[in-house]
Amino acid sequence: MNVFVQRQHQLQQVMKVKGISGFLVNHNVDLYYYSGTMQTGYMFIPAAGEAVYFVRRSITRAEEEASCIIEPIGSMKTIKDRIAARYPELFHKVPGAAVSAAEGREAQEAQEVQEVLEDQPIKLATELDVLPVQQFQRLEAVFPGVVWEDGSQLVREQRMLKSPDEVAAIRRAAAVVDAALEAAIRHVHAGMAEFELMAFIEHQLRIQGHQGLMRMRAYNSELITGMVAAGASAAVPTYFDGPAGGQGLHPSSPQSSGRALIRRGEPILVDLGCCIDGYLIDQTRTLVIGELDQELQRAYEVAEQVLRATEARLQPGTISEHLYLLALDQVHEAGLSDHFMGYGADQVKFLGHGIGLEIDELPVLAKGFKTPLAPGMVIAIEPKFTYPGRGVVGVENSYLITEDGFEKLTISREGIIYVK
């Protein structure tokens, strides 16, 4: 059984418990996660039995890559009838009907589903967190009488726990980012524009296999390869939900590198992502040409102290929220609360986030998130301090939670990196 089929079976087990008849996967990243291909269409995963992927384009490629049945999507008006014909036990709850058509383990699974669904309305799930309302209304019309459940949390919680192969891809991404950072340290100089440094870094990443995509799940959120900016422009706030915004090149793309020239003595925030084989790494380092003033240097030292204290509690069972609250206490004691993770009304309310196929995965290290850490989670932790008119300093590493603690996946050197 390959990894994609295993993931389908894991989802099916949760669906049975919740009385969900089937899951209609619509999100590109989730389609890949469960099938092994990313083609336009819908993947239907029944509570028991083999999944089918209704593909609009490209059917040829889906047939080559997918770990499930592939069918042309045809007319959306017929999709319910086609699903009902393929899985009669889900839409026609006749005791014994599903069992008579199956044998062995499939018969047992069908019977389990039959018992769960008996005398209940047909419930289907899909990722309502990313599905446009217009498209959802179309599904409601195509599936009359069906009760729809938001299955996004089920998918996101399953994706929290990474397989060894997923972690291996993240490790490869970490190595690529490290090489690009070292090249940037050799290349950066006073007088160059921020976007020139960003372009140089992007080139280094791409020639080593970076896919160029940094996927995000959150509505209206976009992300380029990184947030690379220096001095005052790094502290310019923006819509992006992060501690540093960046001026950007234009109000139509108001984040990351702009046209400001890098100067001696100001912090250069190099917050980089990299996507290798679909999986992301996230790390931040602080550079300076010459010397950094004492106040900013102290803020950076506090950022590292927060990171070390967080690492000391980075183990299975630790509640996500507790790590954020601990950081708030440390920052308060240091007298830097006003600058932590942004400034003023633009402060963000988290310390870290899960990463994987998307940059904003679960768990989130923030107030209200009670998820206990578990082996297999990969989390980016990013304590940073913002000083309007002066810059942003901080550090970020990505970590794998293990059975007895953590493994730091980020391999780049830490500390303020002084460029000669």
Residue 406 pairs with which residues in a beta bridge? 401
| Res. 109: pLDDT tops 70 | no
Helix, strand or coil, per DSSP, at residue 145: coil
pLDDT in tens, 163-221: 999 999 999 999 999 999 999 999 999 999 999 999 999 999 999 999 999 999 999 99
pLDDT in tens, 365-396: 999 999 999 999 999 999 999 999 999 999 99
Predicted pLDDT of residue 224: 87
Predicted pLDDT of residue 107: 64
Token readout for 326 is 């601990």
| Other CB atoms within 10 Å distance of the CB of residue 137 | 10
Calpha distance 374→395 (Å, rounded): 23
Domain 161-419 falls under CATH 3.90.230.10: yes
Calpha distance 378→116 (Å, rounded): 34
| Res. 100: pLDDT tops 50 | no
| C-alpha to C-alpha distances, 344 to 244, 254, 336, 337, nearest whole angstrom | 13, 19, 12, 10
Q: Which of 96, 129, 101 is nearest to 217 (CA)?
A: 129
Q: Which residues lie below 8 Å from residue 33, measured CB to CB, with a gap of 6+?
A: 4, 7, 155, 159, 357
Q: Which residues lie below 8 Å from residue 311, measured CB to CB, with a gap of 6+?
A: 399, 406, 408
Calpha distance 149→338 (Å, rounded): 41
Q: Which of 393, 373, 175, 195 is nearest to 296 (CA)?
A: 393
The average pLDDT across 301-325 equals: 98
Per the CB < 8 A criterion, the answer to whether 20 and 124 are in contact is yes
Helix, strand or coil, per DSSP, at residue 375: coil
Predicted pLDDT of residue 223: 87
Reported pTM: 0.92
Q: Where are the domains of the chain?
A: 3-158, 161-419
User: How much of the chain exceeds pLDDT 90, in percent?
Assistant: 89
Q: Which of 355, 367, 361 is nearest to 321 (CA)?
A: 367
Q: Fold for domain 3-158? A: Creatine Amidinohydrolase; Chain A, domain 1 (3.40.350)
Predicted pLDDT of residue 101: 45
Question: Residue length, the chain?
Answer: 420
Calpha distance 233→256 (Å, rounded): 9
Q: How many C-alpha atoms does 264 have within 13 Å on its Cβ side? A: 3
Q: Which of 254, 57, 25 is nearest to 151 (CA)?
A: 25
Q: Which residues lie below 8 Å from residue 380, measured CB to CB, with a gap of 6+?
A: 282, 283, 352, 353, 354, 355, 359, 396, 397, 398, 399
| DSSP structure string for 156-192 | HHHHHS--HHHHHHHHHHHHHHHHHHHHHHHH--TT-
Q: Phi-psi region for residue 247, left (φ > 0), alpha (ψ -120 to 50) or beta?
A: alpha
The average pLDDT across 7-32 equals: 97
The average pLDDT across 308-331 equals: 98
Backbone angles phi, psi at 234, to 5 degrees: -65, -30
Per the CB < 8 A criterion, the answer to whether 291 and 265 are in contact is yes
| Res. 13: pLDDT tops 60 | yes
pLDDT in tens, 276-305: 999 999 999 999 999 999 999 999 999 999
